[in-house]
Amino acid sequence: MIYKRSSALFNEAKKYIPGGVNSPVRAFNAVGGDPIFVKEAKGAYLYDEDGNTLIDYIASWGPLILGHVYEPVLNAIIDKAKKGTSFGMPTEIETDLAKLAVSMVPNIDKIRFVNSGTEACMSAVRLARGYSGKDKIIKFSGCYHGHSDSFLIQAGSGAVTFGSPNSPGVTQGTAKDTLLANYNDLESVKALTSANKGEIAAVIIEPIAGNMGCIIPTEEFITGLRELCTKEGILLIFDEVMTGFRLGAGGAQEALGIPADIVTFGKVIGGGLPVGAFAARNEIMNYLAPDGPVYQAGTLSGNPLAMSAGLAMLTELNNRPEVFESLADKTEHLHEGFDNVLKTKGIPYQINRYGSMISVHFTDAPVVDFASSAKGNNETFKTYFHGMLNQGIYLPPSAFESYFLNDALSYGDLDKTIDALKKVF
């Protein structure tokens, strides 16, 4: 495929936008080449500025679970826009969406809407610290919770050391309160809790990880983590920005059968518009201003357009629970097709899948954490990514991202994708 116009647009963008993009993964640095500029989309397809049609496997990084330009969501936005786009005042639709979300998700009584997943996770940690009176948090290497300072931390020299900043602008003072554990390694968490007894406010985790590829927690790990947090008086925060309302109506809590103390949302809850949220039981949420002392605010939080999109999306999913099974079946079909192709190619690979999340890793060892994910052959991934793109398949331009299927994908689209893989290697 030819991408002359996309390349020209990228060169123009670089004059005015840092790196030519408003989010780094879009720049194709991990795979090489220039990013594709999209013009419009419909259903399972992207239509780029060069006139190409692409089968979409990112779905705007997860929120478009029913496909692009899904009419009930689109119509809700249009109808609401005609009545005003922003007020900075309470609206009834905020309560409508809150009530529906609380009814769908276990273990939450109240929810606060914000404008992004980053803001949701940042606020959840602040709330956990304010509620518990403790400062330190534990996060896991390879889990991404947005670009708030507390989360941009890399591993220290050992399991019981503090992390260190991995971005200029993040202070050592901030880093000292973030401890790094290894995903699927309960002993690393126990070591940190033992070395920092009574100082840890919360553990935050992607319950099914999506930012080092799709990585599934072992039952022993996730169950043990819940038990450890309960025993040590530590709040367990599930970052469900990716998994919330995608793995089922109740998200990962429901899918895994593990209750969290605080849950964060994004993506699907906004129906494709910029929305995040965090939620918990009454006794925790009542610490939040204006009821309690923990301050959080947002002028555009609860924006009526975003609320209308989220309400339309969650209403569809609540009324059509078969969507989750349909998506899981389609993802399994893709998994089996890829498996059949790749095992004949003599290339080391692993495929991880949970629900409608899936990722391919070019390594001969199981991918269970960030270290094993990082062992994947990135040169092979580049060949794979560009080979698929040249045949009209748009995959995440990074080996460390999950694919997100949408239910507008037909089995014909899936088979075309599987056939494309046959031509890559």
Give the pLDDT score at 300. Answer: 95
How many percent of the chain have pLDDT more than 90? 92
pLDDT bracket for residue 171 (50, 70, 90): confident
Q: Are 240 and 251 in contact (CB under 8 A)?
A: yes
- Residue 144 known to be catalytic: yes
- Residue 239 known to be catalytic: yes
Beta strands 45-48 and 235-240: pairing type?
unpaired
pLDDT higher than threshold 60 for residue 163: no
Q: What are phi and psi of 391, to 5 degrees?
A: -105, 15
In the numeric block, the tokens 């639709």 are attached to 93
Considering the candidates 56, 185, 239, 413, report the single residue annotated as catalytic: 239
What span, in angstroms and rounded, lies between the C-alpha atoms of 3 and 52? 9
Considering the candidates 3, 70, 131, 144, report the single residue annotated as catalytic: 144
- Span 158-169, average pLDDT: 61
pLDDT in tens, 299-340: 999 999 999 999 999 999 999 999 999 999 999 999 999 999
- Angle, vertex CA 155, rays to CA 200 and CA 193, nearest 5: 25
Residues 340-372 as b or e (16 or more Cβ within 10 Å = b):
ebbeeeebebbbbbbbbbbbbbbbeeebbbbbb
- For 249, the token pair is 């109506």
Domain ranges of the chain: 4-69+321-422, 71-319
Residue type for 29, please?
Answer: N
What span, in angstroms and rounded, lies between the C-alpha atoms of 257 and 52? 43
Answer yes or no: same fold for 4-69+321-422 and 71-319.
no
- For 313, the token pair is 């999306």
Residue type for 5, please?
Answer: R
- Residue 267 known to be catalytic: yes
Considering the candidates 267, 369, 407, 413, report the single residue annotated as catalytic: 267
Give the pLDDT score at 157. Answer: 36
CATH architecture of 4-69+321-422: Alpha-Beta Complex (3.90)
Q: What is the pTM of this model?
A: 0.96
CATH architecture of 71-319: 3-Layer(aba) Sandwich (3.40)
SS3 137: strand
Give the pLDDT score at 156. Answer: 42
- Span 48-61, average pLDDT: 97
pLDDT higher than threshold 70 for residue 160: no
pLDDT in tens, 62-112: 999 999 999 999 999 999 999 999 999 999 999 999 999 999 999 999 999
How many percent of the chain have pLDDT more than 70? 97
Give the pLDDT score at 155. Answer: 52
pLDDT higher than threshold 50 for residue 387: yes
What span, in angstroms and rounded, lies between the C-alpha atoms of 129 and 294? 9
- For 2, the token pair is 């030819």
